[in-house]
Amino acid sequence: MTTIIERLKMILERVKLTPGNFAVQIGVSQATISHILNGRNKNPSAEVLLRLHETYPDIDLNWLLTGEGMMVRDNPDSLFTGTLFDDNLIKPTKSASETENRKEMPSESAQNADNTIVKQEIIYKERPVRKIEEIRIFFDDGTYEAFTPNK
């Protein structure tokens, strides 16, 4: 019998994703998946399992939790119906005779930009020479030392 961690690894192989990409896809932190796969967290949280199930509804939740049955549900009301060669599996569109031919439409004529010349002037101002009056060093015990230059 496989552990839930081994079953998660099997899902990663099935979807062909790295643990980091898998975490992003199901909406959990990468550290969470890393901790689960490395055994730091022995069992994934309910939130992780629910997010995985929401993202991959074809994964049998019973198999994921117990290891019994098959990984993929053999369910007639599964989200995927049809074959790989069907047109528009997800959202069928109107037939070719009903669809509107799309043509390139010219954009509105470009409006002439203002041709005014913008002048920018940079002014450098001399600043008076600054002198250090005091340097303070603060320590983690709440004390400090002040140093003043010899004049």
Per CATH, which fold does 4-66 belong to? 434 Repressor (Amino-terminal Domain) (1.10.260)
Q: What is the mean pLDDT of residues 125-136?
A: 87
pLDDT of residue 127: 83
Output the CA angle 24-30-34, nearest 5 degrees.
135
Quick: pLDDT tens for 29-73. Answer: 889 888 888 888 878 888 888 888 889 888 888 888 888 888 887
pLDDT of residue 106: 65
Domain segments of the chain as ranges: 4-66
Provide the sign of the torsion angle of the four alpha carbons 54, 55, 58, 61, taken in this order: negative
pLDDT of residue 76: 44
93: left (phi over 0), alpha (psi -120 to 50) or beta: beta
Q: What is the mean pLDDT of residues 140-150?
A: 90
Helix (H, G, I), strand (E, B) or coil at 47: helix
| Range in 5-14, 53-62, 78-87, 139-148 with the lowest mean pLDDT | 78-87
Quick one: which of 1, 3, 5 has its CA closest to 41? 5
